[in-house]
């Protein structure tokens, strides 16, 4: 398989380019004080993951407000509406992974970069700024009205790119989440690249657990993908 066939990289953003786990942990520990410090990363992320898996979950990141109340209740943390809403608003300051900005600049020399995110547009606008505005196209849950892994999200994205002359075979989907992205994208016939951000860590962290689907490409960082592209394309 050659990178020459691709014209667009469609990116999951939250978890692939933006370190949402660090953002959640930072906020919880900041507002919860000593009680938060007593909880392990796994404790907090497990409570978050379970909250997001509930059938009444809403669109991200507004849903983080509901999630905070559930996390606080489960772990015995201080709980009030200010802390809860603050977790949703903290997305403005969620950090990029250390390699994201530089790797996106390198990849942008060869491909159109497309954000495909379950995030609402107001949050993506903040995250895009954090990433130094790399995206040519943005597709959000506000546009699609369905969240990944719903196939309708991927169909909508294909339609958007088709209007720009990019056909299905020219798209490489790049993502961290096996649950939201890699598994469903492979079933739909996409070419996929798994960025295994948690390769050195146990468990699935803040991402919903899923069986692992073997992708076409597999790297443990975005920088490795950029290296592979440059090795082939120069």
The active-site residue, picked from 12, 19, 63, 181, is: 12
Q: Is the dihedral of CA 99, 131, 149, 2 positive or negative?
A: negative
Lowest mean pLDDT among 51-55, 97-101, 188-192, 205-209: 205-209
Q: How many CB atoms lie within 10 A of CB 151?
A: 13
For the stretch 98-133, pLDDT in tens is 999 999 999 999 999 999 999 999 999 999 999 999
Cβ atoms of residues 55 and 117 within 8 Å: no
Among this protein's residues, is 132 annotated catalytic?
no
Per-residue model confidence (pLDDT) at position 18 = 98
- Kindly state the tokens that stand for 193: 């690249």
Q: Are 206 and 60 spatial neighbours (Cβ–Cβ below 8 Å)?
A: no
- Residues 112-146 as b or e (16 or more Cβ within 10 Å = b): bbbbbbbbbeebbebbbebbeebbebbbbbeebee
172 pLDDT higher than 80: yes
Domains and CATH numbers, the chain: 3-19+95-233 (3.40.50.1000), 20-93 (1.10.150)
pLDDT for the residue 15:
98
Task: Tell me the pLDDT tens digit for each residue of 12-23.
Answer: 999 999 999 999
Predicted local distance difference test score (pLDDT) of residue 204:
87
């Amino acid at each position: 398989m050659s990178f020459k066939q691709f014209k667009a990289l469609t990116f999951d953003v939250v978890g692939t380019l933006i370190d949402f786990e660090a953002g959640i942990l930072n906020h919880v520990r900041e507002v919860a004080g000593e009680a938060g410090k007593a909880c392990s990363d796994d404790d907090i992320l497990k409570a978050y993951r379970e909250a997001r898996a509930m059938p009444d979950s809403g669109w991200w990141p507004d849903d983080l407000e509901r999630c905070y109340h559930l996390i606080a209740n489960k772990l015995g943390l201080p709980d009030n509406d200010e802390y809860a809403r603050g977790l949703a608003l903290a997305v403005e300051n969620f950090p990029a992974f250390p390699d994201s900005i530089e790797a996106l600049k390198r990849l942008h020399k060869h491909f159109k970069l497309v954000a495909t995110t379950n995030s609402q547009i107001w949050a993506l606008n903040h995250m895009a700024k954090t990433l130094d505005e790399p995206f040519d196209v943005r597709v959000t849950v506000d546009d699609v009205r369905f969240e990944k892994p719903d196939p309708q999200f991927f169909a909508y994205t294909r339609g958007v790119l088709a209007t720009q002359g990019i056909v299905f075979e020219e798209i490489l989907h790049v993502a961290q989440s096996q649950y939201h992205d890699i598994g469903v994208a492979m079933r739909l016939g996409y070419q996929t690249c798994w960025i295994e951000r948690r390769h050195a860590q146990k468990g699935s962290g803040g991402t919903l657990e899923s069986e692992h689907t073997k992708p076409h490409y597999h790297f443990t960082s975005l920088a490795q993908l950029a290296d592979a592209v440059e090795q082939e394309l120069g």
